[in-house]
A and B are shown apart, each in its own frame.
Chain A
């Protein structure tokens, strides 16, 4: 019959009017984010070995990393993500060999000022030259000591042979 579809539509909307609503009232109710959520990045500074895998994995050159080498060890100085170019593909997190890079469950990344947009995860001053020299001398000493020890023990081994 003509019109039965019209009435059925009315019945459906009437039924929906009485069913519970699906809205999540955002600032009051917080939507529970899943574990894998791609949100704000976090970096475990101590775990990071400054290998630069994340920089190379990034398709959009978002990550800027600055390091200094002190006593043959890389030290992370700056780790800045220019979030406005980020695709949130997660390749950087996936490529991290030490699982130092990860996500926070935070999606509120909007900023009022443009200069606040880049996400600064590490920002440290380079070590002062004296400190650097001291550390390097220390390391050199250690290496020398180890070498001497090794030579000594090595000599013994050889002697045994």
Chain B
């Protein structure tokens, strides 16, 4: 069980190897297979997460949530998506047509790119990049640009306001996030995600770096534009922010991208702080990749729980909280971590 996916990948590699093609071609086929696998995983998960969110929301709000389409309403998202596909895509007059259509296409790219370096289990990263964490931080923040494109291209004042909010919010929350992750990197001394997971063999970093985890979590919520930091969408203020003018599949893609982002941030939290695929309490009977998923889903549930409990903060409060609380706190965390590492080193740990 533990190595099921690694074995499958190995046997595919052997199968191609028999054909006697050049090794470069073999590599290309392998990457394609992996990308397809990840894409499938992401899309299926995004669909499931939409359903899960609606169920969680329903149960929190004394109702059932979707339960009509398919068994227990499981096909609700599929039905919604097929409805959205059949809708006309309306392009507002005065919109920048190319950018307007480009934004929903691009919105999926950054999370997809980051998923290439996520270790789903032991030896299960599609690309075991040695600067994985850096790559994640660099690429994930690209989605800011795409949100801004959507907001600008719509030629709608609400969209424009939403786009401005995205930029302000993402930049001010990227910083504490990076600084929080830095604490972990200082302890492990590596940017490779698999190595970071392996370094948590004895102690998960959520216990070694609780403040960093908290900062990462808050900044993560802000990164995903979710309540209480969903100013970008802020449906009671600016209608739907950058997505106001999107209809049909354009809207659906933004919607699914939000869940992909949630998943990404949860995967990162599980990898950096919750010991990745490592089994707690020696429960190795459950394979590593399943542990990873369990941890990710606990994180995702937390996101949803927060969303259905809290109101939204105001834009200046959001910025104030980011710059005046989170950034100093994460800097202090780095300082303390540094001192602790030095002291423990001197003591001969």
Are any A and B Cβ atoms less than 8 Å apart in their complex? yes
Asked if A21 lies at the interface with its beta carbon under 8 angstroms from chain B, I say yes
Asked if A10 lies at the interface with its beta carbon under 8 angstroms from chain B, I say yes
- Return the chain B residue nearest A7 by Cβ: B309
Asked if A97 lies at the interface with its beta carbon under 8 angstroms from chain B, I say no
Residues of chain A contacted by B62 (CB below 8 angstroms): 16, 19, 21-23
B61 with A6: CB separation less than 8 A: no
A6 with B59: CB separation less than 8 A: no
Asked if B346 lies at the interface with its beta carbon under 8 angstroms from chain A, I say no
Residues of chain A contacted by B60 (CB below 8 angstroms): 13, 16-17
A16 with B61: CB separation less than 8 A: yes
Residues of chain A contacted by B59 (CB below 8 angstroms): 16-17, 21
The CA of A12 and the CA of B61, in the complex, are separated in Å by: 11
Closest chain A CB from B286 CB (angstroms): 25
The CA of A68 and the CA of B308, in the complex, are separated in Å by: 64
The answer to whether A22 and B63 touch (CB under 8 A), given A6-B310, A9-B310, is yes
- Return the chain B residue nearest A15 by Cβ: B60
Question: Mask for A22-57, Cβ within 8 A of B = 1, else 0?
Answer: 110100000000000000000000000000000000
Residues of chain B contacted by A107 (CB below 8 angstroms): none
A23 with B64: CB separation less than 8 A: yes
Q: How large is the interface on B (under 10, 10 to 19, 20 to 34, 35 or more residues)?
A: 10 to 19
The CA of A115 and the CA of B85, in the complex, are separated in Å by: 35
Asked if A112 lies at the interface with its beta carbon under 8 angstroms from chain B, I say no
Majority secondary structure of chain B interface residues (helix, strand, loop or mixed): loop
The CA of A146 and the CA of B64, in the complex, are separated in Å by: 72
Residues of chain A contacted by B308 (CB below 8 angstroms): 13
B309 with A13: CB separation less than 8 A: yes
The CA of A16 and the CA of B57, in the complex, are separated in Å by: 11
Question: Mask for B61-88, Cβ within 8 A of A = 1, else 0?
Answer: 1111001000000000000000000000
A14 with B305: CB separation less than 8 A: yes
A10 with B63: CB separation less than 8 A: no
Residues of chain A contacted by B58 (CB below 8 angstroms): 21
The CA of A76 and the CA of B60, in the complex, are separated in Å by: 56
Closest chain A CB from B117 CB (angstroms): 33
Q: Which of B277-330 contact A (CB under 8 A)?
A: 305-306, 308-310
Residues of chain A contacted by B64 (CB below 8 angstroms): 21, 23, 25
The CA of A74 and the CA of B109, in the complex, are separated in Å by: 79
Closest chain B CB from A9 CB (angstroms): 5
The CA of A12 and the CA of B308, in the complex, are separated in Å by: 11
The CA of A10 and the CA of B308, in the complex, are separated in Å by: 9
Closest chain A CB from B325 CB (angstroms): 11
A13 with B305: CB separation less than 8 A: yes
Residues of chain B contacted by A17 (CB below 8 angstroms): 56, 59-60
Residues of chain B contacted by A16 (CB below 8 angstroms): 59-62
Please name the 6 residue pairs, one residue from A and one from B, whose CB atoms are nearest each other, closest first.
A13-B309, A23-B63, A17-B59, A9-B309, A22-B62, A13-B60
Knowing that A13-B309, A23-B62 touch, tell me 18 more A-B residue pairs with CB under 8 angstroms: A9-B309, A10-B305, A10-B306, A12-B309, A13-B60, A13-B305, A13-B308, A14-B305, A16-B59, A16-B62, A17-B56, A17-B60, A19-B62, A21-B58, A21-B63, A21-B64, A22-B62, A25-B64
